[in-house]
Amino acid sequence: MLSVIIPSFNEEQLIMKTAEVISGLLKGQDIGHELLFVNDGSSDKTWEEIQKAREKNESVRGISFSRNFGKEAAIFAGLGECKGDCAVVIDCDLQHPPEKILEMYALWQEGYEIVEGVKNSRGKESGAHKFAAKAFYNLISNAAGIDMENASDFKLLDRKAINALLNMTEKDAFFRALSSWVGFKSTQVTYDVREREIGQTKWSTKALIRYAVTNITSFTSLPLQIVTFLGVVMFIFSLVMGIDALVNYFCGRAVEGFTTVIILQCFTGSVLMISLGIIGYYISKIYAGIQDRPRYIISERTK
Ligand code: UDP
Ligand code: MG
């Protein structure tokens, strides 16, 4: 059986349509399936819509979070709940072309354990957004040793890969990168990102920045190494400045250096503060790890 995991946050207008489109497609090909909607604490009628979809279609199931825990949490909840031999994760807004599920399924039947959806084009995005996305993916790609530039959450995973992912206890699990990190026999399917059917993107700039910082720090400690690097640069700089100051002192022209002192002071101060901030961020992650809170809380399930 194929499980289709659909994280949904304030998607009331799309639940019915998405369920019909995907279920129709899979029924047409005689592929046994379940559609697992994960309501990520929506404030609109998404949960009611999921229940309605369930009444209409036996293969629909739903779970509902007690509040908004974010898309990553929704994906992991879906992986934890699904019963299929393989699972596809797909957006609720039909931006990931559902027909591609068939292609992914065929590849799974050929023996591939992970089929990644890779974007041909990133769809309509502003220049600044493209730039930020590129910088983010470059950093993560280097850290993880996987090319992530056109990666997405649209993926098919075999049961083996699902279990491997579920065994990871890290709190800020970054699905897109972890699902490549686990290895297994993988292949790719390319697709074009479509326009969102109805509604608008659920990501504000603030949410995207938070997402980037969380995932960078959960995948790489490179920022901490930058701190060390900055420290070394500062040390060399201060050696040079120190020698210069001493020479000046012995030549009897000491007072002038005031400007330098101020600049150095500010520079050191700022580097120290940035460094402390970065270190603090990792410590807060360790703290969150020790607290051992669940990634999400399920409040309801469809009957
Ligand atoms: N989503 C979610 N929780 C959130 C934000 C988004 O489950 O906190 C879901 C959303 O319902 C959709 C998918 O994640 O199915 C992608 O969201 P969206 O289309 O807003 O993102 P974009 O396509 O603009 O990257
Ligand atoms: Mg979308």
- What is the whole-number distance in angstroms between the Cα of residue 100 and the centre of ligand 2? 16
For residue 64, the model assigns a pLDDT of: 93
Strands (E), the chain: 2-8, 33-39, 60-65, 86-89, 114-121, 151-158, 186-192, 298-301
Computed on alpha carbons and rounded to an integer, the radius of gyration of the chain in Å comes to: 25
- What is the whole-number distance in angstroms between the Cα of residue 208 and the centre of ligand 1? 11
For residue 63, the model assigns a pLDDT of: 93
Locate the ligand 1 atom nearest the alpha carbon of residue 203 and give its number: 20
Ligand whose nearest atom lies closest to the CA of 92: 1
CB-CB contact of 77 with 296 (8 Å): yes
- What is the whole-number distance in angstroms between the Cα of residue 151 and the centre of ligand 2? 14
Q: Quick count: other Cβ atoms within 10 Å of Cβ 300?
A: 14
Distance in angstroms (rounded) separating the CA atoms of residues 236 and 240: 6
For strands 114-121 and 186-192, give the pairing.
parallel
Q: Measure the CA angle with vertex 148, ends 142 and 151; round to 5°.
A: 170
Distance in angstroms (rounded) separating the CA atoms of residues 160 and 296: 22
Distance in angstroms (rounded) separating the CA atoms of residues 70 and 238: 45
Ligand whose nearest atom lies closest to the CA of 44: 1
For residue 144, the model assigns a pLDDT of: 65
SS3 state at 177? helix
For residue 104, the model assigns a pLDDT of: 92
- What is the whole-number distance in angstroms between the Cα of residue 89 and the centre of ligand 1? 12
Q: Which residue's CA lies nearest to atom 2 of ligand 1?
A: 71
Select from 70, 69, 71, 49 the least CA-distant residue to 60.
49
Over the chain (303 residues), the average pLDDT of each successive run of 10 is 92 89 88 92 90 89 91 92 92 88 92 88 71 78 70 88 88 78 84 77 77 78 78 80 79 70 75 82 80 85 83
Q: Which residue's CA lies nearest to atom 19 of ligand 1?
A: 201
For residue 133, the model assigns a pLDDT of: 78
Distance in angstroms (rounded) separating the CA atoms of residues 192 and 76: 25
- What is the whole-number distance in angstroms between the Cα of residue 3 and the centre of ligand 2? 20
Ligand 1 pocket list (CB less than 6 A): 7-9, 11, 40, 68, 70-71, 74, 91-93, 95, 196, 201-203
For residue 247, the model assigns a pLDDT of: 82
Locate the ligand 1 atom nearest the alpha carbon of residue 201 and give its number: 20
For residue 112, the model assigns a pLDDT of: 92
CA dist 89 to 36, 42, 49, 148, 280, Å?
10, 19, 20, 17, 34
Condensed to tens digits (0 to 9), the pLDDT of residues 147-163 reads 676 778 899 999 999 99
Distance in angstroms (rounded) separating the CA atoms of residues 251 and 245: 10
Distance in angstroms (rounded) separating the CA atoms of residues 5 and 34: 9
